[in-house]
Chains A and B, each alone.
Chain A
Amino acid sequence: DARVTQTPRHKVTEMGQEVTMRCQPILGHNTVFWYRQTMMQGLELLAYFRNRAPLDDSGMPKDRFSAEMPDATLATLKIQPSEPRDSAVYFCASGWTRDGSSGFQSGANVLTFGAGSRLTVL
């Protein structure tokens, strides 16, 4: 059963510490998304990659968040320094998207989510 794998599942850290979350997308998926979920804001899109290239990271606080995809099997989301307001569940999702004749189009494949990384910053 193909799945998106996220680590760590839980992380408790102190304010100011660096946090790195990792995601292994489903093999063959070319698009990876990072979402953050809180009770107040719901699911917010932070960043996404297509064919390992970052397409949009406008949802991320640029001064402390960074997202990378060093290879097709690994996406990372780093927070440095972390703050209490970063406490949330961070989800990674992958899917397959294709180019359309009028430009980029969303693909037909279902978006598959990982189980999430629950971050608590004290």
Chain B
Amino acid sequence: KQEVTQIPAALSVPEGENLVLNCSFTDSAIYNLQWFRQDPGKGLTSLLLIQSSQREQTSGRLNASLDKSSGRSTLYIAASQPGDSATYLCAVSPNTGGFKTIFGAGTRLFVKA
């Protein structure tokens, strides 16, 4: 059974700092991994999707990496801003056996002005 773990659970940083969020998964047979952002009281917005054959994806100040063999992904946020404050979730989709997309519990990020 796939399990997704995110560390840390919460993070508070001063504005301008670079930071890394971690995601690990127990079953490396994944098809893709997605990083989402969720603002309080809102739905989830997809940030980056990495296919299992890829090592990383970049969008603006965000860079997500994937090491499938070790079951790890990181989300790197450069030059953090107060507007980046949100909960970040990673989710993995299986390679076989169905389409279950399983989520981690998320990392709650607060960027102080």
Interface residues of A (CB under 8 A from B): 31, 33, 35, 42-43, 45, 48, 50, 55-56, 91, 93, 97, 100, 102-108, 110-116
The interface residues of chain B, by DSSP majority, are classed as strand
Which listed residue (A31, A42, A56, A97) contacts B103, Cβ 8 A? Answer: A42
Besides the known contacts A55-B99, A113-B44, 16 further A-B residue pairs in the complex with CB atoms under 8 A apart: A42-B103, A45-B100, A45-B102, A56-B100, A91-B44, A97-B99, A103-B97, A104-B97, A104-B98, A105-B31, A105-B95, A106-B32, A106-B95, A111-B34, A112-B46, A115-B42
List of 8 A-B pairs having minimum Cβ-Cβ separation, nearest first: A106-B93, A106-B31, A43-B103, A113-B44, A42-B105, A115-B43, A113-B43, A110-B46
- Residue among B32, B36, B99 with most chain A CB within 10 A: B99
Which residues of A have CB within 8 Å of B71? Answer: none
Interface residues of B (CB under 8 A from A): 31-32, 34, 36, 42-46, 49, 51, 89, 91, 93-106
Which residues of A have CB within 8 Å of B102? Answer: 45
Question: Is B96 a contact partner of A103 (Cβ separation < 8 A)?
Answer: yes
Question: Is B51 a contact partner of A108 (Cβ separation < 8 A)?
Answer: yes
Which listed residue (B42, B43, B49, B103) contacts A110, Cβ 8 A? Answer: B49
Which residues of B have CB within 8 Å of A33? Answer: 101
Question: Is B43 a contact partner of A108 (Cβ separation < 8 A)?
Answer: no
Question: Is B94 a contact partner of A110 (Cβ separation < 8 A)?
Answer: no
Which residues of B have CB within 8 Å of A111? Answer: 34, 46, 91, 101
Question: Is B103 a contact partner of A106 (Cβ separation < 8 A)?
Answer: no
Closest A residue by C-beta to B87: A42
